[in-house]
Chain A
């Protein structure tokens, strides 16, 4: 293994965030019933005329700029001809000779630079569902705008490929170009992988890997394939240039049955579509639509808020959470308090919700009250969490919840005294343990007071009162 170095290039397909398809007005909605978002254009009926969706160009341009690509000032489309039932026209409208973006680069957080060969626009194909002895076709996805992003073979192992994908996805999300949801199929990845003896300049024979449905799958498949190729080479056998499919159940790659003339697509210019100018005004507009990219945000969060390490990673990889954090600290400026509550109870609630962050309804101002009341002692750990759980997905007013649920923390000695006395009376065993010097016994008693007050007691005060009463012997 160590005598070889691995060379990997990735080909990513990502669906662009548009409302309608790339050449017709059908919705791109992912969850519609089968074959409802179809029309004569995307179904390839004779005589129809595709018309290009300008939003697809804008988003594609934004991606190209984020990946530091050169931009072709005028683009056109070509037909990629092949016959497969998920493609009703028998050709895919794509870009071949003149991609929108080329010669770009993505700088990974590790500092490694991955060159981008090309970024081009095309249309997605439909979906096939295979039954026992026939297949079903759903053409809803046909014509969804798709961006192909091809890296140079600059990745030197599986984990670097994983890092590249993770960071690329983050950027696509930051610039609002794509959801990048692999489960929904809005991001797909194929890989080219080859091995060569260390120090050799020319590339070895490459194998194309397909059918990796998760980022983790990509990593495991590449690890497997690198080992397989090393084994073949060590035995002085040759690697065949072929396409292999990853089998996530068997954790193996297997050769895909191919016909000799598999890649003869007979590209030619799409005569139904006009040339499109990618003017300076458009480029300027999309440059300013890029917004802040992850590296810049990372630096700013460190400089402005002093957030670093794991906490910083969480914010950078979760742009919604980061935005919400910034809204809150504009209203309630104690960064540490806000961040602790966001990364703790708040994130916990989100992680327990199927819809994730998109279910959050609470507004920054309302949320900031919880943190403030917690810091003032009006809410304790338990009641703050309770208030949050009632408001996070409803945005119900915090003051009203506290009122209704009678959740204000009891920080008044007179009100607590009865509960403290009760707790002591009912737990003689804990008292004697405490008198023997077992500190944890007091924690148990504080817990009892909390229970009696339904979580409303100020735990610090309860503890003080308990210690004072026991030591004073005045039970």
Chain B
């Protein structure tokens, strides 16, 4: 059961504001999802290796070659706020 407290906690971790109405709705929806996971948990997987990806591929790697992306200026332009070549954000306190 995902109660209101858990929803608030997850919301805090994700740094998003959730109003009372949403808390209720999310609590219901998340509870359903968790219930479904619990259902899956009923399967006996004691002898099954955990699967981390479905392709069964390995070792797709690249060599260490550097080049400049053409997108850096576009990325900066997409920012809600910039100052020169920096992204500008509300004050951060450590």
Contact = CB atoms under 8 A, between A and B. Distances in A.
Interface of A: 18-21, 24-29, 33-40, 43, 45, 51-57, 74, 76, 81-85, 128-131, 133-139, 245, 256-257, 259, 261, 264, 266, 269, 271, 274-277
9 contacts: A24-B69, A38-B69, A39-B72, A51-B61, A56-B64, A57-B61, A130-B92, A274-B60, A277-B59
Contacts of A34: 84-86
Contact of B71 (A27, A39, A275): A39
A298 B63 CA distance: 35
A36 B68 contact: yes
B68 A134 contact: no
Contact of B86 (A45, A138, A256): A138
A29 B68 CA distance: 11
A27 B60 contact: no
A27 B88 contact: no
Q: Please tell me the size bucket of the interface on B.
A: 35 or more
A83 B15 contact: yes
A139 B89 contact: no
Contacts of B43: none
B62 interface: yes
A26 B69 contact: yes
B19 interface: no
Given A83-B14, A130-B91, A261-B12, A52 B62 contact: yes
Interface of B: 9, 12-15, 52-53, 55, 57-69, 71-72, 75-76, 83-94
A274 B59 contact: yes
A40 B62 contact: no
Contact of A134 (B14, B58, B76, B91): B91
Contacts of B94: 245, 256-257
Nearest to A134: B91
A52 B52 contact: no
Contact of A54 (B63, B66, B87): B63
Contacts of B53: 269, 271, 274-275
Given A26-B69, A275-B52, A53 B86 contact: no
Interface of B (DSSP majority class): loop
B58 A274 contact: yes
B65 A136 contact: no
Contacts of B62: 25, 51-54
Given A54-B62, A85-B87, 17 more contacts: A35-B85, A35-B87, A36-B72, A36-B85, A39-B71, A40-B71, A51-B60, A53-B63, A81-B13, A83-B15, A134-B88, A137-B88, A138-B85, A256-B94, A264-B13, A269-B52, A269-B53
B71 A52 contact: no
A57 B62 CA distance: 11
B14 A19 contact: no
Given A39-B69, A40-B71, A83-B13, A55 B90 contact: no
A37 B76 CA distance: 12
Nearest to B63: A54
A28 B67 CA distance: 10
B65 to A, nearest CB: 6
Contacts of B65: 19-20, 25
A275 to B, nearest CB: 5
A261 B9 CA distance: 8
A261 B13 contact: yes
B64 A18 contact: yes
Closest 4 CB pairs of A and B: A39-B69, A55-B64, A20-B66, A136-B86
Nearest to B84: A34
Contacts of B93: 257
Contacts of B67: 20, 25, 27
Contact of B66 (A19, A51, A133, A134): A19
Contact of B92 (A26, A39, A128, A138): A128
A130 B94 CA distance: 10
Contact of B58 (A18, A51, A276): A276
